Amino acid sequence: MTPIRPLRPQRPVGIVGYGAYIPRYRLPAEEIRRIWSQGKGGLPVQEKAVPGLDEDTFTIALEAARNALARAGIAPEDLRAVWVGSESHPYAVKPTGTLVAEALGATPHVQAGDWEFACKAGTEAMVAALGLVGSGMADYALAIGADTAQGRPGDALEYTAAAGGAAFVLGPAQDALAVIEATYSYVTDTPDFWRREHQRYPSHGQRFTGEPAYFHHITHAARALLEALDLEPGDFAYAVFHQPNAKFPQRVAKMLGFKPEQIAPGLLVPRIGNTYSGSALVGLTAVLDIAQPGERIFVTSFGSGAGSDAMVLTVTEAIEARRDRAPRTEDYIARRTVIDYGLYVRYRGKLNK
Amino acid sequence: MEVPRHWRLKKQRYALVGEVCPSCGAKLFPPRDVCPVCKAEAKTLYTFSGRGEVLAFTTVTQPPAEFADQAPYVVALVRLEEGPTLTAQLTDLGDETPYIGMPVEMVTRRLRTDQGERGVIVYGYKFRPRLQPAPA
């Protein structure tokens, strides 16, 4: 076997600005259970974030990106790439990246495009941005993970399929509020979850989504990166894992040797649901909202299909001056209006007139 | 099909890009290239902060066909911090009731689609109640 080599840029790179967005509406899981299983059975989350009638992946990505740019304190024209990872782009053909770049004022001298890898499209865009900045070809690149996830009415995924997003401006490490020490990706062809062309809702492999998919990829990516950097779970103040429900990230953290208090600040799924491409990344924004200079953060995403991106970050002193330039993730979580299943059906366009 | 018009208006619609008069300093929205205050040529672009307050509002229950999916909705006159007044939908009201003087901020949202499911999606400015910090 070839030795494991983590991805490290030629010049050091970090997060210069970050931002999140979560829609206002919340659907309690109890409400779904009332409709589909007579109020009986366990619940994977407390409630999930539901987008309003006028929201989609572009509008979510844009607000997260505006927050990231505000924290970065750079001009939009300084961005050399605007990349949006999602599985719910508003257009099948016409990149969300073009809309975000235009609305930010980053056009026309810019790369723009969309990434797709189920729930890890956002971290995939980050790794690409790391390469672009790390090679010296660009000083700043914007990577976004955002989704308005759809769950088939009555399916297990309906409890968790939520909406939200996170955006990161990557730039030279000397400008960063958190330096990206290295990343490592682990990918196989594993059909645990998919959506065919023209299908409205995804399909999944039931229990197959657990061991061979989520747990296998996250543990392999995470262990390989920790080993390559000679680090242990105890070296980190925080850890964030992809969070399709409340149980999986807690279990994978335990398998890897992380403690509950290390994952608690970034474990948002019980309160907002699974924001898909935003999932681990929105968790990372909540951690950056409270992290102190010098603290290490471990992040591992998971995307069905399947793969994981693991990432090690170290927070710098720049975080203190930039944190309050945009709303914190908790501000969006606290702004909540509970809706019932009927209004949810209307907001998500599940009624055909 | 109004694709060229949507394309032409994208800057002002997505990000409240107006103009500032180089001679008297008045901020203009929508952009009109001639200052209505001092009549000087005013072509310098200016991006508005997006903060403002509600001057007047009404609830639309009998909407034009292309807005029918979102009705009932609230349309307001919003005075921007920098001076100009514009008309826009209020969004994300949740359980809040709009009032005259309500502090609002701009967000970019779906306005409508041009020609239904097959047409382009028209995005533009709306205003929501200003986001508040979470209670500590």
pLDDT digits (tens, 9 = 90+) for A141-181: 999 999 999 899 999 999 999 999 999 999 999 999 999 99
Q: Return the structure tokens found at A91.
A: 């257009």
Using a CB–CB cutoff of 8 Å, tell me whether A75 touches chain B: no
Within 8 A of B107 by CB-CB distance, chain A residues are 59, 63
Using a CB–CB cutoff of 8 Å, tell me whether A201 touches chain B: no
**pLDDT of B1 above 80:** no
Q: Kindly determine whether residue A328 and residue B133, on different chains, have CB atoms separated by under 8 Å.
A: yes
- CB-nearest to A90 from B111, B121, B135 is B121
Using a CB–CB cutoff of 8 Å, tell me whether B72 touches chain A: no
Q: Kind and range of the H or E element at B123?
A: strand B121-129
Q: Kindly determine whether residue B108 and residue A62, on different chains, have CB atoms separated by under 8 Å.
A: yes
Using a CB–CB cutoff of 8 Å, tell me whether B111 touches chain A: yes
User: What is the Cα–Cα distance from A351 to A4, expressed in whole angstroms?
Assistant: 50
Q: Which of B3, B16, B48, B92 to mutate to test the interface with A (most CBs of A within 10 A)?
A: B92
User: Cα-flanking dihedrals φ and ψ of residue A68, to 5°?
Assistant: -65, -40
ipTM for the predicted complex: 0.96
Nearest CA to A265 among A327, A217, A333? A333
* Nearest-neighbour CA in chain A from B37: distance (Å): 28
Helix ranges (H only) for A37-180 are 57-72, 96-104, 121-134
The fold of B3-129 is OB fold (Dihydrolipoamide Acetyltransferase, E2P) (2.40.50)
pLDDT digits (tens, 9 = 90+) for B62-95: 999 999 999 999 999 999 999 999 999 999 999 9
**pLDDT of A353 above 70:** no
Mean pLDDT of chain B: 95
Nearest CA to A339 among A21, A22, A32? A32
pLDDT category at B130 given cuts 50, 70, 90 is very high
Q: What is the pLDDT, as a whole number, of residue A207?
A: 75
pLDDT category at A235 given cuts 50, 70, 90 is very high
Q: Kind and range of the H or E element at A347?
A: helix A341-347
* Nearest-neighbour CA in chain A from B115: distance (Å): 15
Q: Kindly determine whether residue B94 and residue A24, on different chains, have CB atoms separated by under 8 Å.
A: yes
Domain ranges of chain B: 3-129
Using a CB–CB cutoff of 8 Å, tell me whether B95 touches chain A: yes
- Length reported for chain A: 353
* Nearest-neighbour CA in chain A from B66: distance (Å): 13
Nearest CA to B2 among B128, B114, B103, B111? B114
User: What is the Cα–Cα distance from A156 to A244, expressed in whole angstroms?
Assistant: 11
Distances (CA, A) of B37 to A10, B24, B32, B77: 55, 8, 12, 21
pLDDT digits (tens, 9 = 90+) for A280-328: 999 999 999 999 999 999 999 999 999 999 999 999 999 999 999 999 9
Q: What is the CATH number of domain A13-177+327-347?
A: 3.40.47.10
CATH 3.40.47.10 assigned to A182-320: yes
Active-site residues of A, by number, are: 87, 119, 242
- CB-nearest to A334 from B91, B109, B135 is B135
Q: Is there a shared CATH topology between the A13-177+327-347 domain and the A182-320 domain?
A: yes
**pLDDT of A24 above 90:** yes
Using a CB–CB cutoff of 8 Å, tell me whether B131 touches chain A: yes
Residue of A nearest to B13 (CA): A103
**pLDDT of A136 above 80:** yes
Q: Which of A24, A272, A330 to mutate to test the interface with B (most CBs of B within 10 A)?
A: A24
User: What is the Cα–Cα distance from A14 to A87, expressed in whole angstroms?
Assistant: 26
Using a CB–CB cutoff of 8 Å, tell me whether A259 touches chain B: no
pLDDT digits (tens, 9 = 90+) for A183-192: 999 999 999 9
Give me the amino acid identity at B115: Q
Nearest CA to A243 among A314, A297, A162? A162
Q: Return the structure tokens found at A322.
A: 């930039």
Q: What is the pLDDT, as a whole number, of residue A3?
A: 74
Within 8 A of A102 by CB-CB distance, chain B residues are 10-11, 14
pLDDT category at B28 given cuts 50, 70, 90 is very high
**A205 versus B76: which is more confidently predicted?**
B76
- CB-nearest to B108 from A52, A53, A59 is A59
Domain ranges of chain A: 13-177+327-347, 182-320
User: Cα-flanking dihedrals φ and ψ of residue A281, to 5°?
Assistant: -75, -35
pLDDT category at B114 given cuts 50, 70, 90 is confident
Instruction: Compute the CA torsion angle A22, A25, A31, A32 (nearest 10 deg).
Output: -50
Give me the amino acid identity at A138: A
Using a CB–CB cutoff of 8 Å, tell me whether A91 touches chain B: yes
This prediction has a pTM of: 0.97
pLDDT digits (tens, 9 = 90+) for A139-152: 999 999 999 998 99
Q: What is the pLDDT, as a whole number, of residue B51?
A: 98
Mean pLDDT of chain A: 96
Q: What is the pLDDT, as a whole number, of residue A85?
A: 98
Query: Across residues A72-80, what is the average pLDDT?
Result: 98
Q: Kindly determine whether residue A327 and residue B131, on different chains, have CB atoms separated by under 8 Å.
A: yes
Answer for the pair A6, A225: CB distance below 8 angstroms, yes or no. Answer: yes
Nearest CA to A53 among A265, A348, A299? A348
Residue keyed to tokens 């209004």: A343
Answer for the pair B129, B85: CB distance below 8 angstroms, yes or no. Answer: no
Q: What is the pLDDT, as a whole number, of residue A206?
A: 77
Q: What is the pLDDT, as a whole number, of residue A1?
A: 60
Count of CB atoms situated within 10 Å of the CB of B98: 18
**pLDDT of A195 above 90:** yes
Within 8 A of B67 by CB-CB distance, chain A residues are none
Q: Return the structure tokens found at A165.
A: 């997003």
